[in-house]
Structure 1
Amino acid sequence: MNAPLSPSLIRLLLWTGVLSLLVRTWIGVTFPITGDEAYFYWWGVYPDWGYYDHPPMAGWAIAAMLKLFGDTTFAMRIPALLLPTALGAALWWGFSNVDREKTAWAIVLFWLTPINWLNALITTDTPLIFWSVLSICALVRAEQRAHQDRNTYALHALSGLFLGLAFLSKYFAVVIGFAYFVYFMAFRRERWLGLALLVLAATPGPLVNLWWNMGHGWANIMFNVYNRNQGEVFAWHKPALYLLTWAYLLTPGFVWFAWKERTAMVAFTRQHKLLATLIVVPLAFFALIALKKVVGLHWVLNFYPLFFAWLAFALPLAQIKRTSQWMAVFLGVHLVALAAMYSTQLSDWKSVKIYPEIVRSYRTQELLAQVQAPNTVLMATSYTPASIYGQTLKTYVPVFGTGSFHARQDDLLVNFADFDGKTVRIIGFSLPNLDAYRAYFDSVSLITVSQDGVPFYAVEGQNFKWAVYRDTVLKDIFQTRHQIPSWLPMTGCPFCQHYCGEVRCSNLSDSAD
């Protein structure tokens, strides 16, 4: 079982790993920055212990890349480009002691998924996946040891340390932590000291996040618990989409052979409690969420690699090879589509609905050259264009208006009082209603420019009226996004301090109890 790998399997590993890395790198170099990436770019420019939407790990990673490799989109993406390779190495570290050949096949299957060839984008999920899988593999190594000795305890603590770093990436790390708890309580109570060490080593991560939230109006809690979940109700399409998400991520070939060999899959699951728990518990958790909320494809990626270890260890070698062949066919369809897309020109996309967004992303510099003016503050109508424009100009571009519940870093960084009396240009896609802007300026006018056949509009406002903006727009933002429960202790709240000069603005609104 732990004999040296055959030369053919080594070649397959190398070709799959290297070719997938080359394709990701090509995409990383050529694909324009996305709105989310441009938003996260500013996390790297202004490193902090936290950000409005999520804990700080993605911002720290981007800050390091910008410092080491220069202020480019490609530099930002380096962690994402290397992630599948690193995860393959982590799987080898975690499982190769059990069966080197099966572990190698698990890595091959994982690397054959389209997402590991096509995803070159840096997101908050990038460090979450990395630290989560490292934590899981450290625990797998610990549980492979027959006795609780110093090395076993060290691996439990290392698993906890990695879990704490995953928590500092995104709150979904809690799901992995809950799976650990279920595993130890159900199957490994005699190893309670290992669990205690794991929890102790993980604790600094949540404590850092708790401290930061207390000083920043509980931004992460308001976004992840309150604001983003308002109005969510059950709908049949939501759990259906969850199932389709897994069918796509695992690929049809994987799903077919797992079903065909379901007896072997179930038997393996019953024998290997840790791997089963680490798959079933998160799977069930997100299934419950999917009853009321659409589960994003990226939400489930921090335990996604385990499915390939599950199948590789459960199935006979012949069936694993057949699975890999069908997965390669599915991957090939994606690569053909990718090549077809890259063979087009910008003008070929004129008939698609998102053509204005494509132009904005590929012709950002040229568009902004038409809109910029001396002594004028540029703003945008939502966070995606604001972030893209700002990243291109290397100057922070705020959002004018209430925005959405997503990506409200403005609430922490921007004090609109700084723009009082200034000339502002607000760029948008659709023809604006100037009357909606008149209250905030002495005078307003419309500027229309064309870029690659797409009209873009800018409202120019003279002499921005901060007090009016505060008493209308910021008041609305406060009442809808910053109704912080009174039982949460606070040491600071940048938005509240900009808005009313106090840590809590409870005197300006109804109680938030």
Structure 2
Amino acid sequence: MNAPISQPLIRLLLWTGVLSLLVRTWIGATFPITGDEAYFYWWGVYPDWGYYDHPPMAGWAIAAMLKVFGDSTFAMRIPALLLPTALGAALWWGFSDIDREKTAWAVLLFWLTPINWLNALITTDTPLIFWSVLSICALVRAEQRTQLDRTTYGLHALSGLFLGLAFLSKYFAVVIGLAYFVYFVAFRRARLLGFVLLVLAALPGPIINLWWNMGHGWANIMFNVYNRNQGEVFEWHKPALYLLTWAYLLTPGFLWFAWKGRNVMTAFARKHPLLITLVVIPFAFFALIAGKKVVGLHWVLNFYPLFFVWLAFALPSEQVKRCSTWLAVFLSAHLIAVASMYCTQLSDWKNAKIYPEIVRSYRTEELLAKVQASDTVLMATSYTPASIYGQTLKTYVPVFGEGSFHARQDDLLVNFADFDGKTVRIIGFSQPNLEDYRAYFDSVSLITVSQNDVQFYAVEGKNFKWTVYRDTVLKNIFAKRHQIPSWLPMTGCPFCQHYCGEVRCTN
């Protein structure tokens, strides 16, 4: 019998959900915009069917927030602020028909993790996590049904639709799809028609992405498959970091109770193949990647909530309750640390290595007021400052130079020919060598400004020489970042069209 939730647990859930939302809201309202967020801001300003690094869902979400709530950092962050609450609701929808009490404990454990109190930043993972968990929960509901009727098949299709939307958020949605494939082939062959419907419903997402990539120089493929993986080799610290990432995300308390109850959790896993497949396959996938790449903490969050479902459903309620206490203690340490940071002043961070970055983020307007000039194009030396300056000025700020393999939206948006003959100011942290800039201008000079005891430098170049820049900097960018395989069909390539005037350049 699926008994109702006890009143103390309901109160605990409500208090945890409300307090965590308030903490996230406070951080979202007070913390300065990060470089990645400022970069994604421009995705919202220029909505498209895709962007250089990833599919478009994060940009669409930001565009909607800016339109509805106004042009502010807080408005951008609203999806991230609401995400843990929405995920708790999704888990309830997916699992409560099995056991309300255990589902409530699973949601509570998930909500007690530090990341769900402190993360107020909008990223490409925000919609990925949302749609992935919705897809998983729709499939869980479908698999609870004993009859293969219209409702069951409808839930399979709904799971696929959500998976397609997750794919339009980030390619890591494929990992969830891989887990679905393993589950149906290994455990549910009698329901393969449901899997076929799921795949068909998911297909519009990849089709939209393929269509966009064909017209944009296969930007997502070049970044995610080629450029970001150059030079990656196996190193022992990478898999070790992967395990440490999980130890932190799951918290020491969770790991201790999972270890103590390992026999019970293993027995539960054997009886519930869908849940365990959705945990084991993604975990193993990223473990393989971790042999050569450092797996980011945020990469694994679209199946992260399922660990708490596993523990809450497998262990007796008394053990789960004690586990929640240890999670609360771990969380409290984080909240105290964050509160102490909020009690500091900017000057207290002077000796920190990242102090220049802190000044740039907290005193952006004052800094730019000292560097701006009329009839001058402002640029930066890398995408993080360029994005932050642009978001502050509400004017797109390009990156001068080759940049890195990350965040190359400039390659799609910026035509440096538009700056031919103009005066350019390029802001940076370190004192530049003017000789590195002379070839691109008639004359160059150095401007030095001080902001909160940090020296910032700007190279002012007069009469920008577009053809020289094209034949050196853009040529190097093309050689490093846009060697698109000849077998990939193309209908457009903004960078190539700016560089050589053709859809596909040869050199």
| Normalised TM-score (structure 2) | 1.00
Post-superposition Cα deviations, 1:143-195, rounded to whole Å, max 9, x if no partner, equal 00001000000000000000000000000000000000000000000101100
Could you say which residue in structure 1 is the equivalent of 2:283?
283
Aligned to 1:121: 121
The one-letter amino acid of 1:103's match is T
RMSD, aligned α-carbons: 0.4
Cα distance between partner residues in 2 of 1:16 and 1:504: 55
2:70 corresponding residue in structure 1: 70
Cα distance between partner residues in 2 of 1:314 and 1:274: 14
Percentage of pairs with the same residue: 86
Aligned mates of 1:367, 1:390 — CA distance in 2? 13
Residue 406 of structure 2 aligns with which residue? 406
How many angstroms apart in 1 are the aligned matches of 2:255 and 2:486? 48
Q: Matches of residues 111-510 of structure 1 in structure 2 within 5 Å? A: 111-506=111-506, 508=507
Note the C-alpha offset of 1:5: 1.1
Aligned equivalents of 1:121, 1:38: Cα separation in 2: 11
1:6: Cα distance to partner?
1.1
Structure 2 residue aligned with 1:511: none
SS of aligned partner of 1:235 = coil
Distance 1:454 1:277 in 2: 52
Q: Which amino acid aligns with 1:152?
A: T
- Aligned residue pairs, count: 507
Report the Cα distance in structure 1 between the residues aligned to 2:317 and 2:135, rounded to whole angstroms: 28
Partners of 1:105 and 1:211 in 2: how far apart? 43
How far does the alpha carbon of each residue in 1:253-312 deviate from its partner, in whole angstroms, 9 at most, with x for none?
001100111000100000000000000000000000001110000000000000000000
Amino acid at match of 1:169: S
Aligned to 1:33: 33
Q: Provide the rounded CA distance (Å) in 1 between the counterparts of 2:272 and 2:136.
A: 14
Give the Cα separation in 2 of the matches to 1:265 and 1:456.
56
Q: What displacement does 1:2 show? A: 1.7
User: 1:313 Cα deviation (Å)?
Assistant: 0.2
C-alpha separation in 2, matches of 1:425 and 1:111 = 46
Aligned residue for 2:298, secondary structure, equals helix
CA distance in 2, matches of 1:154, 1:223: 35
In structure 1, distance between residues paired with 2:320 and 2:10: 16
Residue in 2 that maps onto 1:90: 90
Other structure's SS at 1:374 match? coil
Aligned to 2:425, what secondary structure does the other structure show? strand
3-state SS in 1 of match to 2:457: strand
Residue type at the aligned position of 2:125? D
CA distance in 2, matches of 1:105, 1:442: 68
Shift of 1:3: 1.6
- Which digits, 9 at most, give the CA deviation of each residue in 1:334-370, with x for residues without a partner? 0000100000000000000000000000000000000
Amino acid at match of 1:344: T
**Superimposed CA distance per residue, residues 80-137 of structure 1 (whole angstroms, 9 cap, x where no aligned partner):** 0000000000000000000000000000000000000000000000000000000000
Letter in 2 for 1:255: L
Secondary structure of the corresponding residue to residue 378 of structure 2 = strand
Following superposition, the deviation at residue 317 of structure 1 comes to 0.6
Query: Quick one: which amino acid aligns to residue 115 of structure 1?
Result: I
- SS at 2:351's partner residue? coil
Matched, 1:57 2:57: yes
Q: For 1:381 and 1:389, locate their aligned partners in 2 and report how far apart those are by CA, in whole Å.
A: 12
Q: Which amino acid aligns with 1:497?
A: Q
CA distance in 1, matches of 2:297, 2:268: 27
TM-score, with length taken from structure 1: 0.99
2:94 partner letter: G
What SS does the corresponding residue of 1:426 show, helix, strand or coil?
A: strand
Distance apart, 1:388 and its partner CA:
0.1
The one-letter amino acid paired with 1:490 is M
Whole-Å separation in 2 of the counterparts to 1:333 and 1:245: 18
SS of 2:446's partner is strand
C-alpha distance in structure 2 between counterparts of 1:71 and 1:268, whole Å = 48
d(CA) in 2 for partners of 1:94, 1:164: 18
* Counterpart in the other structure of 2:102: 102
Q: In structure 1, give the amino acid aligned to 2:301.
A: L
Amino acid in the other structure paired with 2:158: L
Secondary structure of the corresponding residue to residue 447 of structure 2: strand
- Amino acid in the other structure paired with 1:462: K
3-state SS of the aligned residue for 2:455? strand
Alpha-carbon distance between aligned partners in 1 of 2:498 and 2:436, rounded to the nearest angstrom: 23
Question: 2: distance between equivalents of 1:127 and 1:185?
Answer: 28
Secondary structure of the residue aligned to 1:38 is helix
SS at match of 1:295: coil
CA shift at 1:417, angstroms? Answer: 0.1
Question: 2:425 & 2:78 partners in 1: Cα distance?
Answer: 34
Distance 1:9 1:470 in 2: 64
1:48 offset after TM fit, Å?
0.1
Alpha-carbon separation, structure 2, partners of 1:187 and 1:7: 38
State the alpha-carbon separation in 2 of the partners of residues 435 and 85 from structure 1: 54
Name the amino acid aligned to 1:452: N
**Mapped partners of 1:102, 1:409: distance in 2:** 45
Q: Distance in 2 between matches of 1:307 and 1:261?
A: 14
Q: Unmatched 5+ residue regions in structure 1? A: 509-513
Alpha-carbon distance, 1:4 to partner: 1.6
CA distance in 1, matches of 2:460, 2:183: 60
CA distance in 2, matches of 1:492, 1:2: 56
